[in-house]
Each structure stands twice: as structure tokens, then as C-alpha cells.
């Protein structure tokens, strides 16, 4: 048997059964047998890939996701008045739809659509997790939008491009207005993509995808929140080569995308590397990049915003917003703080602006 993850494979060899003669005067050494069994079990439970706290892969093939959260059901959110439901798109993916209350800013109007992609390094996360469900309720109410939270396949069970493929399929489903909530309430000429960390990476990928360019004029903007980009050469004050943070980012990317071209300089991970498709090709009217002062990924976010502004001409619709004194995706776990509310208000203004 062979368990293979990325470019690393671990093998368990099974010997052919052979005959064994036991002499009456020599009983088996049960203590030694127990020790051997324990040693074998310990070897099988050895961690061969450690991406703590996101994922640990054991030699036996067992996976641990320490930060994984149990799912919560859709329904009515008493705090915001938002209603949600799940829609299955395939045997392995679904979306959670959110509809704001009938009163307020969006009453009686067709509403913008906010398509959200969760983060988690492509190895954890779910549209049904408590943190994302709460976040989408808040975003739906604040933006007065119909929101679509996309659940996609995760690595290592499903290596990239599986997450990109599921996300593209979900976006095409939104454009089809196949669900009554979209047909009745959504203005499909005002679609926004948003996502955090790996979800921000997905937003960029979709906005650059040739299939989606056919929907030009529908994609109003993208919101990249603490996006997960990286590269071989540091930018800004990023950790120098060999530092733990950089090694971890490179290792995780090559684990989830073993066929990456040139490792961390694959354009999907490093959209500003020389030779990557130009950001003038983004199929959207405007771009918002959100970074956090305490997040070492902030330098990549800033570099992306700078490159997008340079590529999009003399009047670039590119906004960079930095949250001071906080870290990566802080708003998911501290939603009641002033900084989280400030970030929510900036995203709301970006989506609701004409």
C-alpha cells in the first residue's frame, strides 16, 4: 500500500506469510511482541508533514486539522435578520446562500451579489463553520446584498486545482441565477468576489480566468482580505529566505499544489512575479485589498495592490486598507472589536458605492 501526498510517498510493505514452528519449551515472548507492536504503531503515527496549526499528516495517512470547527446549520439569524440556506452543487461541493431582511437599505430592490470564498490554506475551512457563518450574516446585512458562501474541496484529499475548479463552477452557477433567491433578489450586473487568505487567492484566480471574462461588466469588484500570496524572493520587510515563516508558506503551497510551476513563484501563488499574466487583465471594475499590520502576509497584499494600481492605468480603482495592531483574519475570531467593525464598514462602503 502506498499513501502519497504531494511529492512525498510513504509505503507500507506487507511480507508474505511464512510457516512458524513453536517448540513447547519456548513460549513466545509476549513482552517483546507488545513492544514491537507499540513501536510499529508509533512509527505509523509519526507526523510526516507538519503545517500546524492547520494540518498534520501522519505516516499512516491519518489527518489532523486542529483548527477545524464543527458546522452550524443555516437558518434565521436573530441578530441581523438575515436568512440562509444550503444548496448542493455537486456530490462534493455546496454553497450557503444569504438573503438580507426585506426592510432596510435593500427593501424592494435588486441587490448586489457578494460571492465569498473562505480561507484556510486550501486544507481547512468550510462555508458552514461558525466563524464564517457569523461573518457572512454580518456582511450580508451591512452590504445589503445577496451573499453566496462557497464550500470547495480541500487538500490533501483533493489537491489543487480542485478548489479553483469548484469555485469557478460555483461562480458560473451564480451567473445562471438557477436559485429563486438569485432570480428574484440579485442584480447580476453587480457581482463582487470576496475572500480571506486562500479565499483571496481564489478571488484573484477567478478574476483572471478566461472563462469568466465572458461575463465582463457583471463583475464589479474583488475584495482580497489578507490574501495568501507568496514567492521565492521577499518583498518589503518580509522574512528573509530560510526564515521559518517563509519555509512554511513555500512548503504548504507545494504540498497543496505539487504540480506548481517554479514552486512558490507559480503565478497562482505569486501574481506579481515576472512573467505572470498582467493585472490589467483582471475582469473587474475595481479592486480592494485589505491587510493587517500584524500579519506577515501584509507585504504581499501591499505589493499586489501596488501592481494592480500600476497596471490599471492613470485612474486605477484600487483601494488598499490596513487594519492596525491586529493579525491575520482577526475579524473572524474577534467580530465585536472596533477594528473588525471598521473593516466591515470599509467593505460595506466598497460594495454599496455606485
Strand residue runs (E) in the chain: 2-5, 8-11, 47-51, 55-58, 63-64, 83-90, 93-99, 111-117, 146-151, 186-196, 219-225, 286-292, 318-323
For the chain, the 3-state helix, strand and coil shares in percent, each to the nearest 5, are: 35, 25, 45
| Among 162, 134, 159, 161, CA closest to 149 | 134
**Which residues make beta-bridge pairs with 71?**
129
- State how far the Cα of 35 lies from the Cα of 27, in Å rounded to an integer: 16
Q: Which residues of 38-52 are buried (b: 16+ CB within 10 A; e: fewer)?
A: eeeeeeeeeeebebe
Q: Would you call 200 exposed, middle or buried from its count of C-beta atoms within 10 A (0-12, 13-18, 19+)?
A: buried
Task: Please confirm, yes or no, whether 197 is among the known catalytic residues.
Answer: yes
Active-site annotation holder among 126, 129, 149, 197: 197
Cell of 116: 465569498
Which residues are marked as active site?
Answer: 197
Amino acid at each position: 500500500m502506498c499513501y502519497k501526498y504531494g511529492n512525498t510517498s510513504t509505503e507500507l510493505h506487507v511480507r508474505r506469510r511464512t510457516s512458524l514452528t513453536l517448540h513447547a519449551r519456548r513460549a513466545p515472548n509476549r513482552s517483546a511482541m507488545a513492544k514491537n507492536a507499540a513501536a510499529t504503531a508509533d512509527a505509523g503515527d509519526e507526523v510526516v508533514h507538519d503545517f500546524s496549526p492547520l494540518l498534520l499528516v501522519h505516516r499512516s495517512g491519518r489527518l489532523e486539522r486542529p483548527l477545524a470547527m464543527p458546522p452550524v446549520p443555516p437558518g434565521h439569524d436573530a441578530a441581523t435578520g438575515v436568512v440562509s440556506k444550503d444548496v448542493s452543487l455537486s456530490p462534493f461541493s455546496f454553497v450557503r446562500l444569504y438573503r438580507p431582511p426585506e426592510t432596510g437599505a435593500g427593501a424592494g430592490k435588486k441587490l448586489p451579489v457578494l460571492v465569498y470564498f473562505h480561507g484556510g490554506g486550501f486544507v481547512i475551512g468550510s462555508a458552514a463553520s461558525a466563524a464564517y457563518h457569523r461573518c457572512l450574516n454580518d456582511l450580508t446585512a451591512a452590504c445589503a446584498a445577496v451573499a453566496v458562501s462557497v464550500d470547495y474541496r480541500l487538500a490533501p484529499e483533493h489537491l489543487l486545482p480542485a478548489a479553483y475548479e469548484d469555485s469557478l463552477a460555483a461562480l458560473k452557477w451564480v451567473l445562471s441565477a438557477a436559485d429563486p433567491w438569485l432570480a428574484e433578489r440579485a442584480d447580476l450586473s453587480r457581482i463582487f468576489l470576496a475572500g480571506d487568505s486562500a479565499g483571496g487567492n481564489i478571488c484573484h484566480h477567478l478574476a483572471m480566468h478566461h472563462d469568466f471574462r465572458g461575463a465582463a461588466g457583471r463583475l464589479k469588484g474583488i475584495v482580497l482580505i489578507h490574501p495568501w500570496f507568496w514567492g521565492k524572493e521577499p518583498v518589503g520587510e518580509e522574512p528573509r529566505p530560510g526564515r521559518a515563516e517563509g519555509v512554511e508558506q513555500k512548503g504548504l503551497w507545494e504540498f497543496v499544489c505539487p504540480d506548481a510551476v517554479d514552486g512558490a513563484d507559480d503565478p497562482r501563488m505569486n501574481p506579481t512575479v515576472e512573467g505572470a499574466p498582467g493585472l490589467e487583465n483582471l475582469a473587474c471594475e475595481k479592486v480592494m485589498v485589505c491587510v493587517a499590520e500584524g500579519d506577515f502576509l501584509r507585504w504581499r497584499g501591499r505589493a499586489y495592490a501596488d501592481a494592480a494600481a500600476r497596471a490599471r492605468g492613470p485612474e486605477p480603482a484600487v483601494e488598499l486598507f490596513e487594519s492596525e495592531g491586529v493579525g491575520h483574519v482577526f475579524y473572524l475570531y474577534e467580530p465585536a472589536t472596533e477594528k473588525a467593525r471598521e473593516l466591515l464598514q470599509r467593505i460595506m462602503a466598497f460594495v454599496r458605492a455606485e
